[in-house]
Amino acid sequence: MVTTPHKIVISGYYGYKNSGDEAVLQSILTALQEQATEAGIQIQPVVLSIDPERTSATYGIEAVHRMKLGEVRQAIKSSCGLISGGGSLLQDATGMKTIPYYLGIIKLAQWMGKPTFIYSQGVGPVNHGLFYPMIKSVFKKCAYISVRDQQSGELLQKMGLNANVIDVVPDPVMGLQLRNNEISNEVINYDPISLPVIGISVRYWEQDRKELVKIVEGLQQVMSHQPLHLRFLPFHLPSDVEASQFMIDLLGDTRSTGSRVSLCADVDHPQDMLREISECQIVIAMRLHSLIYAANSQVPMIGISYDPKIDHFLNRLDLSAVGNTATLNAGDISSELERILFHEEDWRKVHATQIIQLKQEAKTPARAIVEYIANKVMKHG
């Protein structure tokens, strides 16, 4: 039976060459397709992107420019609804224009009579109280709301939303899959010498770069008696490449320790980055989605906190950050790295059940949205 495709617009931080946000998009697209197939309907995504040509070419879907109101309005008008998320869309830490933009897109869809869905968003920080009633007003008219951590749910409740309308679910990327012909945790050595591959995902944060210096010092302490392959994995291009290169320059020539360093600077598809992470023995990371990739692949992780969202995610696995960027200690990094190196399989056994559960729960928003659309289709014949 051939069914009519149902267009659904997806709004988020897409097209900016941020591997984490692109992974969110890929995960949402995959989950929607999977759930739509089970429900016997066709979903046709239309993504709002800053680079629609790139987004369309990467994912094989329709995309329109997120800043061209005419294109956005037309996309919403011809759709059966709007998904906002995932990611940290509703926060004012990066500026005062972010929340109004994303709320404005949702409100536009509501004005046009379209159902709106909040997909596993990380809400906050919201430092300006003037945004509270705005978020409450828009969210109260949403057909479905899900957030990626308990803290986001509590913040929405503080704004006046009822807890019983908020699903707390994992980040969508917990549901991201490798390509069909790939197997997670199949370790690939990058050279003939079998060195432990340590994935490193960092960003600039502290003005004096002291957190990056401390990570380097911690790595050097370990490499003084245990050779490593340090594999730098930039998530946001080009800034994370620059942060990685900063650390590589500080490390200098590691060949005297039997170690090696490599930089993965040309991966732009989320599933390719997931593959890179899955080939690591341990991941040391500041970027949230590099930690989520690691959990997805059951790769032990060492998180460094620069934002509460890092701590919130680690807490879901009963883990805590090795430190925060302001007070990071090199000795803590080296001791934690060595501990996991000697107990890698134990780490996997301890966290396997939690990870399986998170991967299953990550499908919840897509299932709820597809069920809503399918029920509407049946109701209207």
Q: What is the pLDDT of residues 170-187, one digit of tens each?
A: 999 999 988 875 554 444
pLDDT of 190: 45
Instruction: Please give the Cα distance from 326 to 209 (Å, whole number).
Output: 10
pLDDT of 364: 97
DSSP per-residue letters across 337-357: HHHHHHSHHHHHHHHHHHHHH
pLDDT of 182: 56
pLDDT of 144: 98
Superfamily of domain 197-358: Glycogen Phosphorylase B; (3.40.50.2000)
Q: What is the pLDDT of residues 302-348, one digit of tens each?
A: 999 999 999 999 999 999 999 999 999 999 999 999 999 999 999 99
pLDDT over threshold 50, residue 282? yes
pLDDT of 214: 98
More confident residue, 180 or 150: 150
- Indicate the pTM of the whole model: 0.88
pLDDT of 357: 95
pLDDT over threshold 70, residue 192? no
More confident residue, 202 or 181: 202
Domain with CATH 3.40.50.2000 in the chain: 5-169+362-379, 197-358
Q: Which fold has domain 5-169+362-379?
A: Rossmann fold (3.40.50)
Where do we find the tokens 């966290």? 351
The predicted model gives 80-99 an average pLDDT of 94
Are 365 and 146 in contact, with CB atoms under 8 Å apart? yes
- Residue 372 phi/psi, 5-degree rounding, is -60, -50
**Which secondary-structure segment (H or E) carries 49?**
strand 42-49
Work out the percent of the chain whose per-residue pLDDT is above 90: 88
pLDDT of 268: 78
pLDDT over threshold 50, residue 59? yes
The predicted model gives 232-237 an average pLDDT of 94
Instruction: Please give the Cα distance from 150 to 167 (Å, whole number).
Output: 9
pLDDT over threshold 60, residue 121? yes
